[in-house]
Chains A and B, each alone.
Chain A
């Protein structure tokens, strides 16, 4: 197993972990988004709440979610470690800084990642923590099955302007993080060829803009709707 340890502690091995966890988290972004888009269904939140119940009780999903948390933690901790190691490897910085030799995002992935992590804390605290460990979420019953009314919780949360702003900052950070991270993950995997690299680039840009934008629509939609109700 020496080879495996050598590999995982090598610079390329560490980057590979970032790449694989990053892509895994990208796939989660898609799944999570598809679920959340059910908030737009005008059924008073039934579909969404049923979906939420399924996601929190299905054993397989529970199992996968452990992987997800591990992925997030691994990506974040490894990211912070690499960031620190790289800072040390660079030593001091230049008196003059320019950004025409590499994008701002690529040079600030650590900062963007930290912002995303901060956002995640707020987000998890608002939903996951309240759902799991408190009774703050109201209950609702569909077809005789009682479940937590997360739909209403979404509306409650997003009625607070500061929460919406935190979400928007988090999602902008995510978009920027993805704009570099998506293509970078493929490069780290060695997937680069003049024939299909343009496709990866293009998909990366599309993904990085579309996904956070769709996510951002939710708090914005709620905010607008709430405002209209007054």
Chain B
């Protein structure tokens, strides 16, 4: 299939970006990133600068890939990362617009690659249970209601790709932060530090320059792991509870 790619090119964070058009010949069984490989091969053969994009596992779990395809993070296919999107979702003659994730807290590094270290900062503010190696009790000493364990797992499937932020018209990281918090708060192990965790992670989330959630729900729609905005509602509840009834 013959495609026109309209790709955002930006040399580095300091320079201005612009769109450039490319023609590429793809096959329907290719993954989207393999199609970009083909383009890059062409560019390298012509001694031009290949398009920089982040990718690693190419099986939808590492969360490295980060591009907006025709206005949608990871493309419009439900529950699919860009690396798992295949070209059979497109047809010959299509023009595909590819841009980087856009949000102030995700500065562009080059072309389609952005810096998502703000997510690490949020995690470091409390996305853990403080237990040193060797301090644990027997695994079965802490029974967990199956429904709670399942819900914790649903929240924990977040791959930290940042599609939620990219999809959000406010550049908010509430889905990411709330999923991280809800994962731990659904488990008995997570209760001890619950209040501190909630307050600290929200504080750092704000500090990193993310926007405020206005319950648009685009994050949930574009999340490749289909994480629910129920997490956001839960975080709002936890936060209020922590402020009103927490120790500090």
Which A residues fall within an 8 A CB radius of B? 3, 6-7, 10-16, 82, 85-86, 88-98, 100-103, 106-107, 109, 180, 183-184, 187-192, 194
Chain B, residue nearest A7 (CB): B243
Contact A16 B205 (CB under 8 A): no
Q: Among residues 73 to 117 in chain B, which have CB atoms less than 8 Å away from a CB atom of chain A?
A: 76, 97, 99, 102-105
Contact A95 B215 (CB under 8 A): no
State A96–B73 Cα separation when bound (angstroms): 11
Chain B, residue nearest A16 (CB): B240
Contact B216 A11 (CB under 8 A): no
Chain B, residue nearest A108 (CB): B169
Q: Does B29 contact A (CB under 8 A)?
A: no
Residue from A86, A94, A95 within 8 A of B214 (CB atoms)? A86
State A171–B168 Cα separation when bound (angstroms): 27
Contact A94 B102 (CB under 8 A): yes
Q: A89-B171, A90-B170 are in contact. Are A15 and B213 (CB under 8 A)?
A: yes
Contact B171 A95 (CB under 8 A): no
| B-chain residues with CB within 8 Å of residue A101 when the two chains form the complex | 72, 76, 167, 217-218, 221-222
Contact B99 A10 (CB under 8 A): no
Q: A12-B235, A94-B102, A98-B76 are in contact. Are A82 and B202 (CB under 8 A)?
A: no
Interface size on B, residues (CB 8 A): 49
The stretch from B40-48, B57-65, B119-127, B226-234 touching chain A is B226-234
State A217–B210 Cα separation when bound (angstroms): 42
Q: A3-B243, A89-B170 are in contact. Are A190 and B76 (CB under 8 A)?
A: no
A77 → B minimal CB distance (Å): 15
Contact A10 B203 (CB under 8 A): yes
Q: Does B238 contact A (CB under 8 A)?
A: yes
Q: Does B32 contact A (CB under 8 A)?
A: no
| A-chain residues with CB within 8 Å of residue B12 when the two chains form the complex | none
B115 → A minimal CB distance (Å): 13
| B-chain residues with CB within 8 Å of residue A180 when the two chains form the complex | 215
| B-chain residues with CB within 8 Å of residue A85 when the two chains form the complex | 211-212
| B-chain residues with CB within 8 Å of residue A86 when the two chains form the complex | 169-172, 211-212, 214
